[in-house]
A and B are shown apart, each in its own frame.
Chain A
Amino acid sequence: MRGRKVLQYVLLMAVAVVVLFPIYITVVNSLLSPDTIGHRPPVLFPTHPHFGTYSTAFHEGHLGTYLRNSFFMAAVITVGQVITSVFAGYAFAMLRFPFRRALFITFLSTLMIPFEATVITNRHTIVSLGWENRFPALIVPFLATGLGTFLLRQAFLGVPRDLHDAARMDGYGHWRFMARVAVPLARPTIAALAIFSFLGAWNQYLWPLLVTDTDRLRTVQVGLRQLEGTSIQQINVTFAGTVLAALPIFALLIIFQRQLVRGLTAGAVKG
């Protein structure tokens, strides 16, 4: 029994090393001088770290601006997706109305269409609204999501019917029941959705590239590409930029790890 546990941990650690190594080497490379990065065998520990790469990436690479833009965009998208998903999910779970099933399937079908297939049409819409090079272009198309609606519908279906009846007896309408009972019960799902939304928005590349032209509005992933396009003598700055772009995501994962795991399993077993 004990031996098996040891084996399990050794195996897990081996996998952890494989997973973490690219992240580790990115951090190391961001602290090396450009010529040591290409060394063979590779340098695995920075004995003379250069921390200046971070300020170069932040200031000269404009990552400061890009991070701010990405953060604003991702935050608004997250809040928007949570709100719309809660409303839509609640309606599909709790309300009876005509064509409910058909509508729900329509919502679901949006999950099957890859974003790339609609990108030209979406861009056309944004342009005809005159939103090119403005924040709404980055945000508005992502304020509602089929996935979020689906997740929250499942979560709300898990709310016991008895609770609903009891609340009705106490004079709660749908609004109050949703706000005071259903949403608090669905919190793990909402947290998971929020993190997924934030991650998705943060990592966007193609869309921000297509609807913005100016440095003022550029997001961090597009900015990173620009940093990468610079040159060999500053390859360490590219690594520093990558670390900077990943930091908010790391922070988010560490803070919300529990909700994330709980949220992933929340809909799995009905009970």
Chain B
Amino acid sequence: MSELSELYQQVILDHNKKPRNFQKLEGANRVSEGFNPLCGDQLTVYMLMDEGVVRELSFVGTGCAISKAAASMMTQAVKGMTREEAQVLFHEFHRMVTGELDEESEPNHLGRLKIFAGVRDYPARVKCASLAWHTMHAALEGAEKATTENLGPDITQAAASD
């Protein structure tokens, strides 16, 4: 089990306090809602997709520090990416927080998002970090709602095992 400071790093606390791209996006052409029925976390992701590129990305919602910071940093990381790049990053992030990807040894594009690696030591909190990403992914796919309830066995197992 990692020390607390690894989970609540200054960067995460800062994004929690001052989330970036934290507003409704006028002119968005993809809107997706994320909901975690276990804890009540709820967020909406707004995306402006143009010629296969995520031109603008923002979110609003309520949740814990981990979910808010994850959403804030997700918008920064994904803005400007092509659909394919965003897909790759989504899968890398998801694999990292569920412990399937070792961000130190396996090549990846995670960059500053690696500070969320510590979440995998807190199985109950994995969904907090991944909710915004699943919601963004649903927007990429054109779906309207995401929920951590039916995201498949990978996430359920991640939450149940330690």
> Do A and B actually bind?
no
Q: Which residues from chain B sit less than 8 Å from chain A, CB to CB?
A: none
